[in-house]
Amino acid sequence: MGKLQEFDITFTNNKVVYGPGESISGTVKIRTANSLQYKAIKVNCLGLCGISNKINDSSWSLEEQYLNSMLSVADKGTLAPGEHSFGFQFVLPAAIPTSFEGPYGKVVYCVRAAIDTPRFSKDYKAQRPFYILNMLNLNEVPDIEQQSCAVTTKKFSYLLVRTGTLMLKTRSDLRGYIPGQVIKLSTEIHNKSGKDTGYVLASLMQKVTYRTKRPVFDLRTIAEVEGAGVKAGKHAEWREQIIVPPLPQSALACCRLIDIQYFIQVSLKSPEAVVILPIFIGNIPVNLSPARSIATTPALAPVPCAAGVMPSAPPVEEDPEGGLCAGGYTSEELPTKSHSQQDPSGQPVTMSPSAFSHAPGAAMPPCRRPDASAPLFCLSTGATIPFFTEGDVNPIPTSCSLILPPEYSSSDYPHEPPPSYEESCSTVDSSINSGE
């Protein structure tokens, strides 16, 4: 570094995670071996979002700036040999998005320091990132504590002769969760046909939209569980749970270039049938009323869908040969064949919700980390390490890597989730109108 032996930025109390509206302060430390002339020493606090159509592209096609504050901590002069410290402080805006990093874009924040030297001399620069967590309170989402449900039917036919009907119905206990909570799923499969079905698969999906001139949709499976098939003529029930791993919150508020959505996809193989349950991922959990228990309902009685929840398929049609839920069916429990959130011993991974997220400043129980006295803080930044300790400068990864979401797909052609029933109808209507 030439004359400079040390040029570094430290934050007060080594804090690296901040909320909107908070004050960020720290010190620029400089140590020189010889005298160093300078025109100015400046500190810049910067926050922005950049996206691109190409995966892991360093040059962004679109950019959105949230913060760009400059502070001059020293004007023209000379630094004598030895150590020097310059303090700084910035107030963060009240409306800024959570830090995020994905394959087609990111939301990043950092503090930069620069020593502007006289002409023909070398300028010196230093940089230190920090992270923003803009809390999403799930209680502000309408009907969030209601169950989400969806149903679809499939009719079998051979040589234009109807041979049977199948119904797939799924519901979740809530419409919103925080990392560490458990999504309780209940699925009914009525197989009124003469053929056994393939396996049933429940997946927690994330869809990230990068709003470039030609929008990019990045879809990945966060966690999935597979159940057995249903025998011909049988009515089966399948109950499973999915632990929500550290994830960015839904929508990514205050960011106009990146949007994040989550949904549960339950699909049946052979015949192919799919239902979609939209859900929200936030930071503050749903406050359930005393009359509303979070426990799974013992019986899979018909439950009306929550208001505002669009089913992913048309309602079940009346069966002239007898209802699909006729009392003559013998209900059986479907076994689970595989689960992406099980450890090698075969036991499901269980984590406390407090191990992933908490409100700023809240005390946390000690966890396995280098500094047990510092509170654990969850920062959701896409595929990056989501765990940080406020008492340490460097990020600390979680010790339970089994529940971390997999890396983003490297596919150049990301796919969208299956269309909803409403979207399908819109497509059919438009094609009919165009034909007329």
Residues 193 and 293 in one domain: yes
Q: How far apart are CA 183 and CA 146, in angstroms?
A: 13
CA distance 117 to 42: 11
Phi first, then psi, for residue 240 (nearest 5°) are -145, 170
Q: What is the rounded distance in angstroms from the CA atom of residue 327 to the CA atom of residue 235? A: 10
Specify the range with the lowest mean pLDDT, choosing from 41-55, 153-167, 206-220.
153-167
154 vs 318, more confident: 154
Rg (CA), the chain: 27
Cα 256 from Cα 237, distance rounded (Å): 42
When pLDDT is averaged across residues 139-164 and rounded to a whole number, the result is 81
Task: Determine the average pLDDT of the residues in 363-379.
Answer: 34
Would 388 be classed as within a structural domain?
Answer: no
Average pLDDT value over all residues in the chain: 74
The residue among 66 and 368 whose pLDDT is bigger is 66
pTM: 0.71
> Do the domain assignments include residue 435?
no
Assess whether 298 and 419 both reside in one domain: yes
Contact 10/24 with Cβ under 8 angstroms? no
> For residue 365, is it within any domain?
no
Residue 320, number of CB atoms within 10 A of its CB: 6
Final residue before a domain boundary, out of 89, 114, 132: 132
Selection from 38, 63, 40 nearest residue 50 by Cα? 63
Among 20-34, 61-75, 400-414, the range scoring the smallest mean pLDDT is 400-414
Cβ atoms within 10 Å, residue 303? 13
Which of the four pLDDT bands, split at 50, 70 and 90, describes residue 41? very high
279 and 208 in a single domain? The answer is: yes
Say whether both 276 and 317 belong to one domain: yes
pLDDT given for residue 56 in this prediction: 84
Same domain, 126 and 239: no
Lowest mean pLDDT across 94-103, 116-125, 209-218 = 116-125
- Backbone φ, ψ for residue 259 (5° rounding): -125, 140
For residue 300, is pLDDT > 90?
Answer: no
Check residue 158 and give its pLDDT: 57
pLDDT one-digit tens code per residue, 84-107: 999 999 999 999 999 999 999 999
Q: How far apart are CA 297 and CA 426, in angstroms?
A: 35
Lowest mean pLDDT among 108-117, 151-160, 197-206, 362-371: 362-371
Flag whether 184 is in a domain. yes
Do 213 and 305 fall within a single domain? yes
CA gap 419, 63 in Å, rounded: 29
Interval 36-40 mean pLDDT: 90
**Same domain flag for 265 and 145:** yes
Asked if residue 387 is part of any domain, the answer here is no
Taking a C-beta distance cutoff of 8 angstroms, is the pair 17, 390 a contact?
A: yes
Q: What residues pair up with 166 in beta bridges, in sequence order?
A: 154, 191
> Do 345 and 241 fall within a single domain?
yes
Domain boundary among 77, 100, 132: 132
> Which residues are CB-contacts of 141 (< 8 A; sequence separation ≥ 6)?
175, 176, 280, 282
pLDDT for res 271: 82
| Range 2-29 average pLDDT | 91
Q: 74, 109, 132: which is the final residue of a domain?
A: 132
Supply the CATH number for residue 270's domain: 2.60.40.640
Domain encompassing residue 236: 138-350+411-426
Total structural domains within the chain: 2
Higher pLDDT: 382 or 76? It is 76
What phi and psi values does residue 8 have, to the nearest 5 degrees? -140, 160
Q: Is the pLDDT of residue 362 over 80?
A: no
- Out of 209-223, 235-249, 326-340, 411-425, pick the least confident: 411-425
User: What would the pLDDT profile of 185-194 be if each residue is shown by its tens digit?
Assistant: 999 999 888 8
Residue 190 lies in a domain: yes
- Residues 279, 183 contacting (CB under 8 angstroms): yes
Which pLDDT tens digit goes with each residue over 42-68?
Answer: 999 999 999 999 888 888 999 999 999
Whole-angstrom Cα distance, residue 370 to residue 394? 11
Q: How confident is the model at residue 152 (pLDDT cuts 50, 70, 90)?
A: very high
The three-point CA angle 285-288-293 to 5° equals 120
Same domain, 114 and 9: yes
Residues 191 and 91 in one domain: no
> Same domain, yes or no, for 143 and 121?
no
- Strand pairing class (4-11; 200-210): unpaired
What value does the mean pLDDT take over residues 215-226?
Answer: 91
Amino acid identity, residue 153?
A: T
CA dist 122 and 80 (Å) reads 17
